[in-house]
Amino acid sequence: MSPEAEADTRAETDFYRPRSNMSAAPSSVESRLEVLECHFTWDLDLSRANSLHLRDKLMDIGTEEGNMWLGHIYNLQGYIHHQLGLVQEALQFFTRAAETFHQIRTSDSDEGPWLVVNYGNLAWLYHHLGDQAQSESYLSKVNALKTKHPTPSQDQLHPEVGAEKAWTLMKFSKDKKLLAVDLFEKAIKMQPDRVEWCTSQVLALVSAHKHSHTALDDEILDKMKIAKERDPENLYLAVRYLSQRADKEEDVKDEARELAAKILVNPVSSYNGMKAILRLYRRSVSDDEAIDLAEEALLQHPDNRYLKRCAALCYKWKIVFYKDGAVNQSTIDRAVSLLKEVIHLYPDSSLVKELDLANVYAKSNHSLPEAKEIYKKLLQRDLEPAERQMLYHQYAKYLHYDVEHYNKSLKYHMKAAEIPHESFYRTNSIKVLENTRRRGRNRMCGEIGVFLENLEESSQPASAGYQ
């Protein structure tokens, strides 16, 4: 959607919102809405940057037939669009979610507990639009479904509701991922035959340990193995399991190539394992074979933006992490071309891609001015705290490794660390500062020591944010 169209839609949203001189909704309606289990009550705390980033990620999942999470995807998309002020689009997604649940559940009754979250979302949406009659209608529908499909006790969620909440929380912070694992566990106990729930529970558990820098313990690996055996068609799970085995120094090259061949013939989706297999290729096979695989996928689907993003990542990995001398110019040129295209294709979540482009430029001796110009513009951009933290961390690395401005680099690590948002970038910047102080060879050691002491004293629980 263009900025102009988005502005028009926001204006339309404001028109439909209840005016201050309109009578307020009865408090009983508010209290009934607050206890609903739906996206509006799950404390998702989406900033604008997070909303745009997640919207793009959900679009890349695809809508291929047989995706058991498609209704849940549309529900989350609806909520995201509401948070962005795009209420009519939100209504379209919520409607599409209901239609999808009806299609997937063709062997069941027309309405079931899988619609509880969707109807709750619609009750909230119509309440915000000032249409209390429609809001009441959906509140009644939720109550009717809960009466028809009760849970064993009042303090338990229906497994369909718990599973959707768990799937949604998987898209957020580590704490929410761990909560998702628990919610899936409770849902699975009530309906142990739901294979997709078992798979997603394991993936949530693995994702929560994403930045641990250690191989998963044997218990989690066993859970992955069991889930893989129960869900043999899930190639994303298969790749993640293979990646964990690679972390334990197993030789998985041949199995990785077999999986890659299967992924290539599947519908394109961020759920099909393409990015994951490319990461595994880079670690366990070779950068060049990863690039060849990405280019082969692009040859089959030349207009797919997700595959272009995957290919751009492969080239970036080869250039930024190359250890055997200079990368040839044709590789850099291809990376630059792909990254520029990807930035254009993801206009609302381009920050990471622009940083990738700056990194690629920085590794080319004659392109350092281009890298400097990208960072200059990004440092002037109005960014949310989590985005700014990521930018400061990346800029600090650029200053250290590419232009050898070591003290300035430390200053930007301090800027990243002082933003109270828990993330990999903050953790890594603090680690750099601690290592510098411990070595004691930099004239800034005293300043860094005071900074770290003050940081520890003022540390508070960080809020959820950019993933």
pLDDT tens per residue across span 262-318 = 999 999 999 899 999 999 999 999 999 999 999 999 999 999 999 999 999 999 999
Q: Is residue 311 part of a domain?
A: no
The domain boundary residue, chosen from 129, 150, 171:
150
Q: What is the CATH number of the domain that holds 8?
A: 1.25.40.10
d(CA 85, CA 34): 20
Give alpha helix (H) positions in 248-328. Answer: 253-264, 274-284, 287-300, 305-320
Q: Of residues 394 and 28, which shows the higher confidence score?
A: 394
Average the pLDDT over 99-103 and give the result.
91
Whether 438 is covered by a domain: the verdict is yes
Instruction: Please state, in angstroms and as integers, the Cα–Cα distance from residue 256 to each residue in 251, 253, 291, 311, following that order.
Output: 10, 5, 14, 17
> Residue 139: inside a domain, yes or no?
yes
Q: What pLDDT is recorded for position 226?
A: 95
Whether residue 36 is predicted with pLDDT greater than 90 in this model: the reply is: yes
Question: Are the C-beta atoms of residues 92 and 49 closer than 8 Å to each other?
Answer: no
State how far the Cα of 208 lies from the Cα of 204, in Å rounded to an integer: 6
Query: Is 50 exceeded by the pLDDT of residue 15?
Result: no
Residue range 176-203: average pLDDT? 96
**N- to C-terminal Cα distance for the chain?**
23
In a domain, 408, yes or no: yes
| Number of separate domains in the chain | 2
- Does residue 9 lie within any of the structural domains? yes
Domain coverage including residue 102: 3-150
Backbone φ and ψ of 284, nearest 5°:
-115, -15
Q: What is the pLDDT of residue 464?
A: 39
Pull the structure tokens for residue 430: 């603090």
Residue where a domain stops, chosen among 114, 131, 150: 150
Point out the domain boundary residue: 103, 132, 150: 150
Q: Kindly state whether residue 185 falls inside one of the protein's structural domains.
A: no
The predicted model gives 2-8 an average pLDDT of 41
Confidence of residue 109 (pLDDT cuts 50, 70, 90): low
| In-domain check, residue 209 | no
Tokens of 207: 């994702």
- Report, as an integer, the average pLDDT of 115-136: 96
165 found inside a domain: no
Closest to 316 in 3D by CA, of 282, 359, 345, 346: 359
- Average pLDDT over every residue of 52-63: 92
Query: Among 5-9, 67-71, 325-329, 443-447, whose mean pLDDT is lowest?
Result: 5-9
- Mean pLDDT over 208-235 rounds to 84
